[in-house]
Amino acid sequence: MQTPLWKRLLIWGIVAFGLLYAMPNLFFARVESHNDAAEAAAKAGFATPEQEAAMALWPDWLPSGIVNLGLDLRGGAHLLAEVQVADVYAARIDGLWPDVRDKLRDLRDQIGNVRRVPSPPGELRVQISTPAGLEAAVAAVKSLAQPVITLTGVGQNDLEVTVVDGDIVVQLSEAERAATDDRTIQQSLEIVRRRIDEVGTREPTIQRQGADRILIQVPGIGSAAELKALIGTTARLTFNSVVQVTGDAKAQPGSGNVLLPAQNDKNTFYILEKAPVVSGEDLVDAQPAFDQNGRPAVNFRFNPTGARKFGDYTAANIGRPFAIVLDDEVISAPVIQSHIPGGSGIITGNFTVEESTQLAVLLRAGALPAELVFLEERTVGPELGQDSIDAGTKAAVIAMIAVGLFMWASYGLFGIFANIALVLNMALIFAILSIIGGTLTLPGIGGIVLTIGMAVDANVLVFERIREELRGQKNPIRAIEIGYERAMSAIVDANLTTMISAGTLFFLGAGPVRGFAVTLGIGVVTSVFTALLVTRAMIEIWYAWRRPKTIVV
């Protein structure tokens, strides 16, 4: 019953590989600080003495992959946000109105007066006073549409112009909505990522989920509320004209105006015109810079639309202040020195270098294109996580010992082979988790404990079958061979059905449940390997060494 040499080498090779790659997990804290330091040093391009010390904790030539601890074990916050993509339609359509108006004004003699009538958000409804000109008006509005370039929407225009009850109704077309949604989500993802990276926490997960959702998981952060505050700010940037500067927090701004506080001065308030001159959406770039006096400042540049509006405004308002407003706080209110025609400018204020850099980043990162609604949030404190790790580890160790004793009592030496295979199985699970960067969650530990109970099942089936064959007076070698062969089909069936469950589980839920699916799935594969191939290889070695005439299972 000799397995070919190459196969034996492969089996023991995989076992050795598994042990090697599982080992770093035994020195979790040490390897973790090594990895963190190495990553930080690689990012910065040099290593501080503390980082050098941390890196020396673990030799570079050993594998340094360790399992990712899930939020329920490490502590941290999890958020599921829904991007209100429809917000963007409304903004787009509202932004269209001036263009539509200008276009229709040119046709005044044909269509008469043009008036916008109330309509649901995302829809622009225009009334004209001379119904005879409707066709010409529709054609004029249609000329504003531009082709959408997407994989499916080729040849479609971005606007849909229809006539309802004699009014012209302008909406975004289906193709444009799809394209806009995609862009909105991509932008939101990017902005959320930038804002979280700003804080520099370790390994955040920021993923798109489904059509319009973003999943955010940040280990180590104190609470979901904190995380929400960080990413939930819309960072809406506007440039408004200043009506008055006051120290009175209760000043009456008057209609069409708004009273906003200054960001870095509690006693200064600005009364601003509510309608912004230009908004952050028109910014294409912002960079930290220095003004002519060598003070930190921020350079910015508008797109053509913004540049035109900004140019017109600055030309008309030289010598007067205008306010740069971020999320309802005035970050600075410089005085317009000259007409700024090119669409670029410089923001000066009492900035430090850090502040100007920060401002440039925020401006570049820009506003969230749409509001985020948080559908789900979970915070787990690090103490509870540690308690869970402790309890899970204890359960796993006790399960292992109890199952091991039971197998030994039931199958003697063969039981011990199965137990060794069980230990190797655990090592392989951790090795695979470490290599694929899988996340270990509390239910995931549950999956591992369950695997302890299930992995020996395959051995039970084989050993029982061998017993049966021995009773039929087969010689030992034959009995072992038949035992492994005949038990195979039931073992494969059993494990494939478990795999079906693990597969559905993987798609059922993100987070802890998915962690369970992953360990269960890996456990199925490794346990088939260890329980069939590894125990068989062990039995072969033992048999070749002892050459027993009879065996007892």
Q: Decide: is 442 part of the binding site for another protein (CB under 8 A).
A: yes
Given the structure tokens 């939930």, which residue do they identify? 232
Q: Is 366 left (phi over 0), alpha (psi -120 to 50) or beta?
A: left
Nearest to 122 by CA among 179, 173, 183, 187: 173
Of residues 424, 544, 491, the one with CA closest to residue 416: 424
Q: Does 469 bind another protein (CB under 8 A)?
A: no
Alpha-carbon span 531 to 27, nearest angstrom: 27
Is residue 484 at the binding interface for another protein, with CB under 8 A as the rule?
no
CA dihedral 382, 387, 393, 394 (to 10 degrees): 170
CB nearer to another protein: give 170 or 445. Answer: 445
Site residues for another protein, window 379-438 (CB under 8 A)? 379-381, 383-384, 387-388, 390-392, 394-396, 398-399, 402-403, 406-407, 409-412
Residue 510's CB is within 10 A of a number of other CB atoms, namely 17
Contact yes or no for 140/102 (Cβ under 8 A): no
Q: Which is nearer to another protein, 114 or 452 (CB)?
A: 452
Q: Which is nearer to another protein, 91 or 499 (CB)?
A: 499
* Phi, psi for residue 113 in degrees, rounded to 5: -80, 150
**For another protein, which is the closer residue by CB, 316 or 496?**
496
**Of 293 and 489, CB closest to another protein:** 489
Which tokens go with 492?
Answer: 């494969």
Q: Which of 1, 10, 508, 544 binds another protein (CB under 8 A)?
A: 508
| Burial category of 517 from C-beta neighbours within 10 Å (exposed 0-12, middle 13-18, buried 19 and up) | buried
Taking CB under 8 A as the criterion, which residues in 216-235 touch another protein? 223-225, 228-229
Please tell me whether residue 498 binds another protein under the rule CB under 8 A. yes
Query: Which amino acid belongs to residue 446?
Result: G
- The token duo for 402 is 């109890």
CB neighbours of residue 60 within 10 Å: 9
In 3-state terms, what secondary structure has residue 272?
A: strand
Query: What tokens does 526 get?
Result: 């490794």
| Window contacting another protein (CB under 8 A); options: 174-182, 264-272, 289-297, 464-472 | 464-472
Per CB under 8 A, the segment of 130-138, 154-162, 177-185, 487-495 that binds another protein is: 487-495
| Alpha-carbon Rg for the chain in angstroms | 34
User: How far is residue 505's CA from residue 517's CA, in Å, rounded to a whole number?
Assistant: 5
One-letter identity of residue 455: A
326-385 residues in contact with another protein (CB under 8 A) are 373-381, 383-384
Q: How far is the CB of 373 from another protein (least distance, A)?
A: 5
Determine if 36 is a binding residue for another protein (CB under 8 A): no
DSSP 341: -
Q: Is 86 in the site for another protein (CB under 8 A)?
A: no
Determine if 13 is a binding residue for another protein (CB under 8 A): no
Nearer to another protein, 316 or 402 (CB): 402
Q: Which stretch binds another protein (CB under 8 A): 166-174, 337-345, 427-435, 440-448?
A: 440-448
| Per-residue binding letters, 58-77, with another protein (x by CB under 8 A) | --------------x-----
H-only helix segments in 317-441: 353-365, 382-436
Residue placing its CB nearer to another protein in the complex, 32 or 72:
72
The verdict on 461 binding another protein (CB under 8 A) reads: yes
| From 47, 289, 420, 490, residue interacting with another protein (rule: CB under 8 A) | 490
Which one of residues 31, 159, 326, 517 is an interface residue with another protein (CB under 8 A)? 517
Among 206, 454, 518, 534, binds another protein (CB under 8 A): 454
Residue 318 or residue 552: which is nearer to another protein going by CB?
552
Out of 95, 247, 342, 453, the residue judged to bind another protein by CB under 8 A: 453
Minimum CB distance to another protein smaller for 148 or for 470: 470
H-state helical runs in 25-65: 28-44, 49-55
- Measure CA of the first residue to CA of the last residue in the chain; give whole Å: 17
